[in-house]
């Protein structure tokens, strides 16, 4: 790879530097100021160009992303691989989360400066990404400052093994792991993205799915997972034997210990949409708006959706809204400039509707016509697979052939689920 | 304000906003609040006055944070007619911040403002005046000017109102169109004089009045001359005689409250002094004597103090006094005193005073009477060149340039040459140019000039532009007695190791031309000196050097050693990448093999014909630009050099050629006014071009013919005659040729259709180039509202007229304006004739007073793709009976734009018959 990141910054939302590490001397030190004045504090929020994740200011490219209330910024002067940089930053967040007990925020960064410097030293070398796997790094970078003698001796031994392990044949799993109860948990998590026109035609629809496993197995088990062949774009964890997948369509692997993401996939055909929506929004003159949104759940009546949230945008000069719903609660939220309809539990195959008459306040200047942004939906449907992916079998094979408890779950969540009005 | 403190909701809201950690939180909070306010405002009448006030405050705060609050404009405006002071105040403040003068919404509140202006409540007067003074636009100026004037002159109002009225009027005057005469001098000179003369007038009011006067005279002082002695008297009272105990002729103008660090109201003094600068020097010797005495007192009575504020105030007064003394062309004694004072300023350490002293001395240096006095301070000015502050160094350079004369030129130029070595890089370009100009302007003898220029070129390095060495070699070429001397000097410079390109070029030229005059230095040495520098210079300079080598060779054909060396160079460059160099080298190589041909063809440069100094022209270009420190490369560096010039005779005060300015041969406005009433006439005329126009109108359509005639003997190039599109009109312009031959006339047809009512006539863009002169002017076309008017066929019945008239009660459909004219008195017949010429049908016997003229017409316009629309309009002119100098013009029509346009037109024409 002929490209590298010159410096890595963590900044808060105001643009103050929380922590930074410069890996190469080809960039100046005052980049954080440039980032603050040109990117964070730009007023033109409407300007789409200002929202791009990669900005080029002068000779430097600024690649940045936001995680909770922190901006992570990678600066490079060369023609760097942007996807690599973002993947690295995403992994960095995961890594830090696993160190901070699942939390990643401005405060947690401030509390762990020393640790973060250590991690930054390990994860990037002269700007080139190195190991970012938490399970491996945790073997030699410790969170706690104080440890007992015995633990120290043990850790030292482990740390010595670390090199061996990382470079070994099964780098992701240690030898001699022992559990009293051997268990495997498998979750299929799917995110369904959809864009529908106001006539009900589907303009775009796809499913991003992943299989997350939690493995508590002794020894060196060999696991085989059989899936129906509905998969299109698949990415596997490094433990998966790709040769066998290509020849036999069987996912076979020696799992790492604990929680990991086994595979990711994407699916664009044969998707069953969990909800269909029929919106009618009429502007009556300059000061009134009639809204009627019909909602139908397309999944089996045995299932149900949780925490359904429908956001129906209304013009910015809305003064008052009179709303009726056949289920759940709805109100006008001035902060989002939208009517927000909430249903805690929505039965499969059910049909419900929201009707509202919205009153707008007149303005003195001629406004530009309302942009009619799309309706957005958020929900979660347990035990529903939008892509139709099924687990046919999950087999565990180990020398000592112990008994294994296996658990399989599915959940379907909304991604960008939008309906134009 | 007490109420404001108690607004809990507002306080909590502001506290919430301040507690927001970032922009997003703030936006969320603001959106929430806006939602609430919208709901409240939309809910109808249930909002209490208190709540309304509170919400408008909140909206104002939100607006200042940068969010749109358009829906609140109406609510804010609704508070203006409120009866309580607190609400009115909020209304005015919100409107002043939310609306700008272009806002159409302002029209709706003009009436409420007017009500406040004519009310009896002084607090309301103040609010309304403050609002008009900060937001008032052109429309307000035309509608409210009379009321504001009344407030100013009314004897009953308190000083604070009068003060505000004066400042408000100033704003309205500034907003009025530049050609309009808003304050008739006949009336206002006397009124303002009376106000200024008031015995117990407060300094605050005086300050406002003088500021107003300043605004008026900056447009035109004509008619106000009588006020100058009054201002002088005021100044006299402000700056009393020093003598204590002596009988003062007037009481001091200001009480001790208005003293600022012991100086009586410096602001007022400064304003007075500045007003006087606009007037010509007073004719009355008494006034002039008094004014000179005041100036002398000011200039003599100021010395630096410890206190910075006192210093600042005093200096402000002093500098204005000096400016006035310059404007008055005061006696030498006063100016000498000023120079002495300023000289003291430049010798102090405080940089601000030093800067101001230098800057003012530059202005004084142009007065010949004090030139000698200034020259006495040359040393301290030169000292300022080494000041730590760059802006002071720049001013010092300017001053040295300005004060240089034939007598002190050698000293100053020598000093500037020394200074060149240490000067800032940013200043060097300017410094080099100025030194060169000074040397050229004041050289005592030619050798000195050559010395200076060669030194300058040597030291300036890359800051010496081509012009400098071009003009040097030109001069040398023209004076044979200089040839040997300058060649030696150039050789010495080369031997000292000078390497800069300009010097190398200069030396190459001199050695090539006159190298044979210094036989003690052998040709191959001369060649070697140049060849050392050959590789480092640009290809243009290389070309010059190649020519120089050729000339060396021709001058010394017997030197075989030189021949070989030169041939080697030519040979190498005959295969060079640069086409020009390659060709040159190849040709010279061939010439070198045939010495006889070479000797015939390679000859000495002839003397240059005398032309105007190139340097001076560059200097003028440079001065024309912004002389800010942060300027980009000066224009004279970017322009390509168009031949070289001779410095020739010292050109003190040579006229600097500027882009030719073409003046019209008469008053464009008068032509325009005449065309408003006549169907044909002259639109524009100058020395080269005459533009006549012939018009014919029918309903909303018009046919114009523009006659462009070339009066001069030279053809007019790049002829432009175009009408920029305006939404209210549709145009169709015939073809215009690019060139207009001498003594020839062309006709350009122009069709115009009125699409909508309009306030200002369309404009014609007229331009041409004639030799060095060029014209580009935007002229108003006489397509005024009256041209689209048609008088009624029959007399209008009385009832119908008054019904219409009453249906339009006030602005903006009905507008009035008072027109005051210079004598002679206005008879009735010309008024009626004027109305008729404006296509307005005069109706006699309609008005109860037979002396008033009433006219009726129909204005027609055709929106694109629609049926013609007709707007009935009415005009009434009442002439004041006794003197018949003032008249009240009232225009009315259902369309505000038509009314305003007609009123403006009638007033304009009326004041000029």
Q: Phi first, then psi: what are they for B57, rounded to 5°?
A: -60, -45
State residue A44's pLDDT score: 53
Q: How close does chain A come to B26, measured CA to CA in Å?
A: 10
Q: Is residue B66 part of a domain?
A: yes
How far apart (Å, rounded) are the C-alpha atoms in residues B644 and A136? Answer: 79
pLDDT digits (tens, 9 = 90+) for B536-546: 888 888 888 88
Q: Is the pLDDT of residue A304 over 60?
A: yes
Q: Is residue B821 part of a domain?
A: yes
Residue B38 is nearest to which of A43, A319, A364, comparing CB atoms? A319
Q: How many CA atoms lie within 13 A of A93 on its CB side?
A: 19
pLDDT digits (tens, 9 = 90+) for B777-792: 888 888 888 888 888 8
pLDDT digits (tens, 9 = 90+) for B241-257: 654 444 444 456 667 77
Q: How close does chain B come to A293, measured CA to CA in Å?
A: 23
Q: Do B73 and A14 touch (CB under 8 A)?
A: no
Share of chain A above pLDDT 70, in %: 90
Q: Which range of residues forms the domain containing residue B31?
A: 1-98
B360-370 average pLDDT score: 81
Q: Give the nearest chain A residue to B26 (CA atoms).
A: A335
State residue A223's pLDDT score: 93
Same domain (yes/no): B503, B592? yes
CB contacts, 8 Å: B22 with chain A: 13-14
Q: How close does chain B come to A290, measured CA to CA in Å?
A: 17
Q: Is the pLDDT of residue B695 over 90?
A: no
Same domain (yes/no): B641, B600? no
Q: Among B329, B321, B227, B209, which Cα is nearest to B281's?
A: B329
Beta bridge partners of B856: B841, B874
Same domain (yes/no): B834, B894? yes
Choose the mutation target among B70, B98, B99 for the interface with A, i.e. most A CBs under 10 Å.
Answer: B70
Same domain (yes/no): B121, B44? no
B61-79 average pLDDT score: 88
Q: Is the pLDDT of residue B70 over 80?
A: yes
**R_g of chain B, CA atoms, integer Å:** 37
pLDDT digits (tens, 9 = 90+) for A27-48: 877 788 888 887 777 655 555 5
Q: Do A334 and B35 touch (CB under 8 A)?
A: yes
Q: Is residue B739 part of a domain?
A: yes
User: What is the three-state SS of B497-522?
Assistant: CCCCHHHHHHHHHHHHHHHHHCCCCC
Q: Phi first, then psi: what are they for B829, rounded to 5°?
A: -60, -50
Residues of B engaging A, defined by a Cβ cutoff of 8 Å: 21-22, 24, 28, 31-32, 34-36, 38-39, 41-43, 66, 70-71, 73-74, 105
Q: Among B216, B330, B331, B226, which Cα is nearest to B275's?
A: B216
pLDDT digits (tens, 9 = 90+) for B791-838: 887 777 878 888 888 877 777 788 888 777 766 777 777 788 888 888
Q: Do B70 and A14 touch (CB under 8 A)?
A: no
* Highest mean pLDDT of the ranges A2-6, B35-39, B361-365, B441-445: B35-39
How far apart (Å, rounded) are the C-alpha atoms in residues B736 and B304? Answer: 66
| Token pair of A1 as six digits | 């790879």
State residue A245's pLDDT score: 87
Q: Phi first, then psi: what are they for B828, rounded to 5°?
A: -80, -40
Q: How close does chain A come to B36, measured CA to CA in Å?
A: 8
Same domain (yes/no): B621, B672? no
pLDDT digits (tens, 9 = 90+) for A98-133: 888 888 889 889 888 888 999 999 899 888 988 888
Q: Which of residues B350 and A231 earns the better pLDDT score?
A: B350
8 A C-beta contact, residue B242 and residue B290: no
Q: Give the nearest chain A residue to B30 (CA atoms).
A: A335
Count of domains in chain B? 6
Question: What value does the mean pLDDT of chain B take?
Answer: 80
CB contacts, 8 Å: A360 with chain B: 42
Residue A320 is nearest to which of B24, B42, B74, comparing CB atoms? B42
Q: Do A334 and B24 touch (CB under 8 A)?
A: no
How far apart (Å, rounded) are the C-alpha atoms in residues A413 and A381? Answer: 6
CATH number at residue B828: 3.30.310.10
Host H or E run for residue B878: strand B869-879
Beta bridge partners of B746: B708
How far apart (Å, rounded) are the C-alpha atoms in residues B195 and B206? Answer: 8
Q: Do B38 and A317 touch (CB under 8 A)?
A: yes
**Pick from A280-294, B316-330, B512-526: least confident:** B512-526
How far apart (Å, rounded) are the C-alpha atoms in residues B79 and B92? Answer: 8
Q: Among B671, B606, B682, B591, which Cα is nearest to B644's?
A: B606
Residue B24's pLDDT band, with cuts at 50, 70 and 90, is confident
CATH number at residue B725: 2.60.40.1230
Q: Do A318 and B28 touch (CB under 8 A)?
A: no
State residue A329's pLDDT score: 94
8 A C-beta contact, residue A133 and residue A172: yes
The binding site of B comprises 8-9, 40, 50, 54-58
Q: Is the pLDDT of residue B624 over 60?
A: no
Q: Is residue B428 part of a domain?
A: no
Q: Which residues contact A128 (CB under 8 A, 6 or more apart)?
A: A1, A4
Q: Do B39 and A363 touch (CB under 8 A)?
A: no
CB contacts, 8 Å: B106 with chain A: none
Same domain (yes/no): B743, B825? no
CB contacts, 8 Å: B13 with chain A: none
Choose the mutation target among B34, B35, B62 for the interface with A, i.e. most A CBs under 10 Å.
Answer: B35
Q: Is residue B834 part of a domain?
A: yes
pLDDT digits (tens, 9 = 90+) for A66-97: 888 899 999 998 888 899 999 999 999 999 98
Q: Do B70 and A367 touch (CB under 8 A)?
A: yes
Burial of B141 (0-12, 13-18, 19+ CB in 10 A): buried
Q: Where in chain A is the domain with CATH 3.30.450.60?
A: 7-151
Q: How close does chain B come to A20, measured CA to CA in Å?
A: 21
| Highest CATH level, class, for A275-382 | mainly beta
Q: Among A30, A13, A12, A10, which Cα is nearest to A21's?
A: A10
Q: Which SS3 state, helix, strand or coil, does residue B742 take?
A: coil
Q: Do A14 and B21 touch (CB under 8 A)?
A: yes
Same domain (yes/no): B549, B588? yes
CB contacts, 8 Å: B43 with chain A: 319-320
Query: Looking at domain A183-271+388-412, which of 3.90.230.10, 2.60.60.20, 2.60.40.1170, 3.40.718.10 is its CATH number?
Result: 2.60.40.1170
What number of C-beta contacts closer than 8 Å exist between A and B? 54
How far apart (Å, rounded) are the C-alpha atoms in residues A319 and A359? Answer: 6
Residue B42 is nearest to which of A13, A43, A361, comparing CB atoms? A361
Share of chain B above pLDDT 90, in %: 5
Residues of A engaging B, defined by a Cβ cutoff of 8 Å: 13-14, 43, 317-320, 332-337, 359-365, 367
Q: How many CA atoms lie within 13 A of B524 on its CB side?
A: 9
Same domain (yes/no): B664, B766? yes
Host H or E run for residue A279: strand A275-284
Q: What are the helix and strand counts (H, E) for chain A?
A: 7, 23
CB contacts, 8 Å: B69 with chain A: none
Q: Where in chain A is the domain with CATH 2.60.40.1170?
A: 183-271+388-412, 275-382
Q: Is the pLDDT of residue A50 over 70?
A: no
CB contacts, 8 Å: B74 with chain A: 362, 364
**R_g of chain A, CA atoms, integer Å:** 26
Q: Give the nearest chain B residue to A360 (CA atoms).
A: B42
How far apart (Å, rounded) are the C-alpha atoms in residues B788 and B754? Answer: 8
Residue B32 is nearest to which of A14, A335, A365, comparing CB atoms? A335
Choose the mutation target among A364, A365, A367, A368 for the interface with B, i.e. most B CBs under 10 Å.
Answer: A364
Q: How close does chain A come to B29, measured CA to CA in Å?
A: 7
Q: How close does chain A come to B241, measured CA to CA in Å?
A: 58
How far apart (Å, rounded) are the C-alpha atoms in residues B278 and B176? Answer: 20
Q: How close does chain A come to B56, measured CA to CA in Å?
A: 15
Q: Do A363 and B38 touch (CB under 8 A)?
A: no
Q: Is the pLDDT of residue A251 over 80?
A: yes
Pairing of strands A304-313, A338-347: antiparallel
Q: Is the pLDDT of residue B45 over 90?
A: no
How far apart (Å, rounded) are the C-alpha atoms in residues A220 and A200? Answer: 52
Q: Do B70 and A362 touch (CB under 8 A)?
A: no
State residue A410's pLDDT score: 93
Q: CA-based angle B694:B698:B701, to the nearest 5?
A: 80
Which of the listed residues B757, B783, B809 is the one where a domain comes to its end? B783
Choose the mutation target among A71, A334, A337 for the interface with B, i.e. most B CBs under 10 Å.
Answer: A334
pLDDT digits (tens, 9 = 90+) for B84-133: 888 899 999 999 998 888 888 888 888 899 999 888 888 999 999 999 98
Q: Do A359 and B42 touch (CB under 8 A)?
A: yes
Q: Do B71 and A361 touch (CB under 8 A)?
A: yes
Helices (H), B329-445: 332-347, 351-364, 371-375, 378-384, 390-403, 409-420, 425-442
Find the largest Cα–Cα distance for chain B: 116
Q: Is residue B61 part of a domain?
A: yes
Same domain (yes/no): B194, B286? yes
Q: Do A319 and B36 touch (CB under 8 A)?
A: no
pLDDT digits (tens, 9 = 90+) for B4-23: 557 888 899 999 999 988 88
Q: Which residue has the tokens 């079998």?
A: A393
Q: Is the pLDDT of residue A375 over 90?
A: yes
Q: Is the pLDDT of residue B656 over 50?
A: no
Question: What value does the mean pLDDT of chain A take?
Answer: 86
Same domain (yes/no): B162, B193? no
Q: What CATH code would you report for A7-151?
A: 3.30.450.60
How many other CB atoms are found less than 10 A from the CB of residue B811? 19
A214-235 core/surface letters (b: 16 or more CB in 10 A; e: else)? ebbbbbebebbbbbeeebeebe
Q: Which residue has the tokens 């909590």?
A: B12
Same domain (yes/no): B483, B595? yes
Q: Estimate the crossing angle of helix B308-328 against helix B285-300, to 10 degrees.
A: 150
Q: Which of residues B759 and A397 earns the better pLDDT score?
A: A397
Q: Is residue B391 part of a domain?
A: no
How far apart (Å, rounded) are the C-alpha atoms in residues B597 and B171? Answer: 80
8 A C-beta contact, residue B545 and residue B510: no
B620-647 core/surface letters (b: 16 or more CB in 10 A; e: else)? eebeeeeeeeeeeebebeeeeeeebbbb
Same domain (yes/no): B778, B791? no
Q: Do A334 and B71 touch (CB under 8 A)?
A: no
Q: How close does chain A come to B465, measured CA to CA in Å?
A: 33
């Amino acid at each position: 790879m002929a490209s590298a990141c010159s410096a890595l910054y963590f900044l808060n939302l105001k643009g103050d530097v929380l922590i930074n590490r410069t890996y190469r001397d080809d960039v100046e030190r005052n980049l954080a100021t440039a980032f603050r004045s040109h990117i964070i504090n730009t007023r033109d929020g409407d300007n789409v160009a200002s929202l791009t994740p990669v900005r080029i200011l002068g000779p430097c490219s600024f690649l940045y992303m936001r995680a909770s209330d922190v901006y992570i910024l990678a600066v490079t002067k060369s023609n760097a691989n942007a996807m690599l940089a973002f993947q690295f930053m995403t992994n960095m967040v995961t890594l830090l989360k696993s160190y901070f007990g699942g939390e990643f925020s401005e405060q947690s960064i401030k509390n762990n400066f020393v640790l973060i410097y250590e991690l930054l030293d390990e994860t990037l070398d002269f700007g080139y990404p190195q190991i970012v796997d938490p399970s491996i790094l945790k073997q030699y970078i410790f969170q706690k400052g104080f440890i007992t003698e015995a633990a120290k001796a043990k850790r030292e031994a482990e740390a010595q093994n670390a090199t061996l392990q990382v470079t070994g044949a099964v780098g992701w799993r240690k030898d001699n792991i022992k559990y009293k109860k051997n268990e495997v948990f498998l979750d299929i998590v799917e995110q369904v993205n959809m864009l529908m026109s106001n006539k009900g035609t589907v303009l775009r629809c796809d499913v991003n799915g992943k299989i997350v496993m939690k493995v508590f197995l002794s020894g060196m088990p060999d696991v085989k997972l059989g899936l129906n062949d509905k998969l299109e774009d698949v990415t596997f964890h490094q433990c998966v034997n790709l040769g066998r997948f290509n020849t036999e369509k069987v996912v076979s692997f020696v799992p790492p210990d604990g929680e990991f993401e086994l595979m990711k996939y994407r699916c664009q055909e044969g998707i069953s949409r969990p909800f269909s929506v029929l919106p009618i929004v009429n502007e009556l003159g300059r000061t009134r708006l009639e809204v009627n949104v019909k909602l139908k759940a397309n999944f089996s009546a045995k299932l149900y959706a949780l925490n359904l949230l429908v956001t129906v945008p209304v013009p910015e000069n809305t003064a008052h809204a009179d709303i009726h719903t056949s289920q759940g609660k709805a109100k006008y939220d001035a902060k989002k400039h939208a009517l927000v309809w909430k249903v805690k539990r929505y039965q499969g195959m059910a049909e419900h509707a929201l009707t509202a008459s919205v009153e707008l306040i007149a303005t003195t200047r001629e406004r530009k016509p309302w942009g009619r942004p799309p309706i957005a939906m958020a929900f979660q449907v347990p035990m529903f697979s939008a892509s139709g992916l099924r687990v046919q079998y999950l087999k565990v094979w180990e020398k000592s052939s112990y008994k294994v408890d296996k658990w399989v779950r599915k959940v379907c969540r909304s991604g960008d689920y939008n309906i134009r009005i | 304000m007490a109420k404001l403190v108690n607004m809990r909701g507002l306080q909590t809201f502001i506290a919430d906003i301040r507690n927001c950690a970032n922009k997003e939180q703030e936006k969320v909070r603001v959106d929430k609040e806006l939602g609430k306010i919208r709901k409240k405002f939309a809910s109808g009448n249930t909002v209490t006055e208190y709540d309304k006030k509170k919400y408008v405050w909140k909206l104002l705060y939100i607006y200042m944070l940068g969010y749109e609050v358009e829906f609140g404009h109406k609510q804010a405006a609704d508070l203006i007619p409120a009866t309580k002071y607190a609400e009115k105040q909020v209304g005015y403040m919100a409107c002043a911040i939310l609306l700008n003068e272009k806002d159409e919404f302002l029209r709706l509140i003009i009436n409420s403002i007017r009500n406040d202006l004519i009310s009896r409540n002084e607090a309301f007067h103040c609010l309304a005046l403050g609002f008009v003074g900060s937001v008032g636009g052109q429309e307000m100026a035309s509608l409210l000017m009379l009321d504001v004037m009344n407030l100013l002159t009314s004897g009953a109002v308190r000083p604070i109102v009068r003060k505000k009225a004066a400042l408000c009027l100033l704003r309205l005057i500034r907003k009025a169109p530049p050609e309009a005469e808003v304050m008739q001098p006949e009336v206002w000179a006397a009124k303002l004089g009376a106000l200024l003369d008031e015995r117990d007038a407060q300094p605050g009011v005086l300050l406002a009045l003088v500021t107003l006067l300043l605004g008026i005279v900056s447009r035109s002082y004509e008619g106000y001359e009588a006020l100058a002695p009054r201002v002088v008297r005021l100044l006299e009272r402000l700056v009393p005689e020093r003598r204590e105990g002596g009988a003062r002729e007037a009481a001091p103008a200001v009480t001790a409250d208005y003293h600022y660090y012991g100086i009586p109201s410096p602001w007022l003094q400064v304003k007075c002094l500045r007003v006087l600068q606009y007037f010509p020097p007073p004719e009355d010797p008494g006034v002039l004597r008094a004014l000179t005495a005041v100036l002398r007192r000011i200039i003599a009575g100021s010395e630096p103090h410890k206190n910075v504020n006192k210093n600042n105030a005093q200096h402000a007064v002093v500098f204005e006094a000096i400016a006035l003394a310059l404007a008055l062309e005061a006696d030498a004694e006063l100016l000498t005193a000023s120079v002495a004072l300023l000289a003291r300023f430049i010798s102090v350490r405080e940089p601000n005073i030093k800067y101001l002293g230098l800057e003012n001395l530059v202005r004084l240096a142009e007065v010949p009477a004090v030139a000698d006095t200034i020259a006495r301070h040359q040393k301290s000015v030169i000292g300022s060149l080494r000041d730590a502050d760059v802006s002071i160094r720049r001013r010092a350079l300017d001053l040295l340039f300005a004060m240089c004369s034939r007598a002190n030129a050698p000293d100053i130029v020598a000093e500037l040459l020394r200074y060149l070595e240490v000067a800032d890089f940013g200043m060097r370009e300017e410094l080099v140019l100025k030194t060169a100009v000074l040397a050229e302007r004041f050289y005592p003898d030619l050798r000195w000039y050559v010395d200076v220029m060669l030194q300058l070129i040597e030291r300036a390095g890359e800051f010496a532009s081509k012009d400098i060495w071009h003009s040097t070699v030109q001069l040398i070429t023209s004076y044979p007695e200089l040839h040997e001397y300058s060649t030696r000097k150039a050789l010495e410079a080369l031997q000292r190791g000078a390497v800069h390109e300009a010097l190398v070029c200069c030396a190459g030229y001199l050695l090539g031309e006159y190298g044979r005059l210094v036989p003690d230095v052998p040709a191959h040495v001369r060649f070697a000196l140049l060849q050392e520098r050959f590789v480092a210079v640009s290809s243009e300079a290389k070309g010059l050097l190649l020519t120089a080598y050729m000339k060396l060779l021709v001058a010394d054909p017997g030197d075989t050693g030189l021949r070989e060396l030169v041939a080697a160079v030519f040979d190498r460059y005959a295969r060079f990448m640069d086409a020009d160099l390659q060709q040159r080298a190849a040709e010279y190589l061939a010439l070198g093999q045939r010495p006889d041909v070479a000797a015939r063809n390679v000859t000495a440069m002839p003397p240059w014909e005398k032309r105007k100094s190139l340097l001076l022209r560059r200097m003028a270009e440079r001065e024309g630009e912004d002389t800010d420190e942060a300027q980009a490369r000066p224009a004279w560096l970017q322009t390509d050099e168009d031949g070289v010039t001779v410095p020739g005779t010292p050109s003190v005060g040579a006229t600097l050629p500027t882009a030719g300015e073409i003046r019209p041969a008469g008053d464009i406005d008068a032509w325009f006014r005449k065309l408003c009433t006549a169907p044909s006439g002259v639109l524009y005329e100058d020395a080269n071009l005459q533009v006549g126009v012939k018009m014919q109108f029918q309903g909303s359509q018009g046919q114009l013919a523009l006659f462009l005639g070339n009066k001069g003997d030279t053809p007019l190039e790049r002829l432009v005659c175009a009408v920029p599109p305006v939404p209210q009109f549709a145009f169709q312009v015939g073809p215009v040729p690019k060139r207009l031959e001498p003594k020839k006339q062309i006709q350009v047809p122009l069709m115009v259709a009125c699409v909508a009512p309009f306030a200002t006539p369309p404009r014609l863009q007229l331009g041409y180039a004639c030799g060095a002169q060029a014209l580009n002017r935007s002229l108003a076309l006489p397509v005024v509202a009256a041209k689209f008017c048609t008088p009624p066929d029959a007399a209008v019945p009385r009832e119908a007229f008054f019904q219409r008239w009453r249906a339009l009660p006030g602005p903006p459909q009905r507008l009035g304006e008072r027109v005051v004219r210079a004598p002679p008195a206005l008879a009735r017949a010309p008024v009626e004739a004027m109305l008729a010429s404006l296509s307005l049908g005069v109706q006699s016997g309609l008005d109860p007073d037979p002396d008033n003229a009433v006219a009726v017409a129909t204005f027609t316009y055709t929106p694109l793709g629609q049926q013609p629309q007709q707007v009935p309009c009415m005009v009434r002119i009442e002439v004041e009976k006794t003197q018949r100098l003032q008249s009240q013009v009232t225009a009315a029509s259902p369309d505000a734009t038509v009314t305003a346009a007609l009123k403006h037109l009638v007033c304009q024409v009326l004041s000029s018959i």
